[in-house]
Structure 1
Amino acid sequence: MEATQISRSALDVEWQRLQVIATNLANMNTTRTGNGGTYAAQRLVSGPVGDFAAEMRVAGDPDAPPERGVMVYQITQTNSGTRQVFNPNHPHANEDGFVSYPNISQSDEMSMMIKTQRAYQANLVALQAAQRMFSSALQVGRQG
C-alpha cells in the first residue's frame, strides 16, 4: 500500500499548493491586509516525509514502519516587494500619489498553477494505476 500512500500525500501537497497560488492571485490587487501592511506573495515549501538516513535505517529493518510520501514543510512569504502605481485619488495613496500593490506576476502564478495541476494529475494517475494493480492481484488470488 506504499504506492497509494505516496500518491495520496502528494495529492494533498499539490492541493495545498493550488490554494496558496489562488490566494496570491486573489490578493494581487490588494492594497492593505488586515494588519495594515501590503500583502506579500506566499510559496509552499514541500519535500519528502523522511530523510535519506531514515530511509536507509528502514531498509535495513523490515519491521520498521517506513515514512513514505511528501509533506508541506512551511508556507513562506516571498521577498518580491511591491509595485507602485500612481493613483492620487486612491484612499491608500501616499503623499506622492502612489499606491503600493504586491509585486505578484499573474503570468508566473498561472504558470505555477498549470505545473501544479499537472503534478496533481500525474499523482492521480499513479494512484489509480496502483489501485488497479492491487485489484488485479486480488483477482489473481481469488482464481488460484
Structure 2
Amino acid sequence: MTASVFEISRSGMDVEWLRVTTIAQNVANMNTTRTGNGLPYQPVRLVSGPKAVFSLEEPRRLGGPTGLSGVQVYGVERLRVPPRMVHEPSHPHADANGFVAYPGVDHAGEMTLMVKSLRIYEANVAMANAAKQMYTKALEIGSRG
C-alpha cells in the first residue's frame, strides 16, 4: 500500500500547520508568569516523524514497515528549559529577591523555527501543485490518442 503524492503532501502540510500553531502558543505565552492552574507556563515542542505503513499482504522487510506514507505527529513534549528571571520587585509574582520567573522561551529560536516550518509547508503546497500539473498534462496527452 503506497500513499499518493497528494496524501504525502497533505500530511506534511497538516504537521507543519500544527507545528506553527505550537510555536505561536509558545510566543504568545512568553510573558505569562502563571497559567490558569497557577503554575508557570512551560514551552512545548511538536514531535513528528515518518508515518510507516504495515501491510499484511506484503512481507515485512526485516520486521519493519512496508512503506512510508508521509509524516505524522507523535505528540507534544514540554521543553525542560530554565525560566527567564527578570528583576521586577513591584510585580505581584516576584519572589523575595524581587525576581519574576518568566517562561524560558527563546523568541529568536521560535521565530526561526516558524519560518522554517512555513517554508516546509510551502514546499508541500508546491509539490501538490506540481503533481496536479503532471496528472493534468498526462490526461491531456492520453485524450489525444
TM-score, length-scaled by structure 2: 0.87
Question: Identity, % of aligned pairs?
Answer: 45
- What is aligned with 1:123? 124
- How far 1:59 moved relative to its partner? 8.0
- What is aligned with 1:139? 140
Instruction: Please say if 1:39 is aligned against 2:6.
Output: no
- What is aligned with 1:84? 85
- What is aligned with 2:75? 74
TM-score, length-scaled by structure 1: 0.87
Q: Is the 8 A contact 1:58 1:66 kept in 2?
A: no
Structure 1 residues 61-97: Cα deviation after superposition (integer angstroms, max 9, x where no partner): xxxx965111100011100120111111111111221
Question: Quick check: which one's helix share is greater?
Answer: 1
Q: Is the 8 A contact 1:40 1:81 kept in 2?
A: no
- How far 1:9 moved relative to its partner? 0.5
- Alignment-mate amino acid for residue 91 of structure 1: P
Structure 1 residues 70-127: Cα deviation after superposition (integer angstroms, max 9, x where no partner): 1100011100120111111111111221111001111101110111111111111111
Structure 1 stretches of 4+ with a deviation exceeding 3 A read 57-60
1:2-81 map, 5 Å: 2-50=4-52, 54=54, 58=58, 68-81=69-82
Unmatched runs of 5 consecutive residues or more in structure 2 = 61-65
Matches of 1:69 and 1:58, distance apart in 2: 19
> How large is the RMSD of aligned CA atoms in angstroms?
2.1
- How far 1:22 moved relative to its partner? 0.5
- Alignment-mate amino acid for residue 24 of structure 1: N
- What is aligned with 2:98? 97
- Alignment-mate amino acid for residue 79 of structure 2: T
- What is aligned with 2:63? none
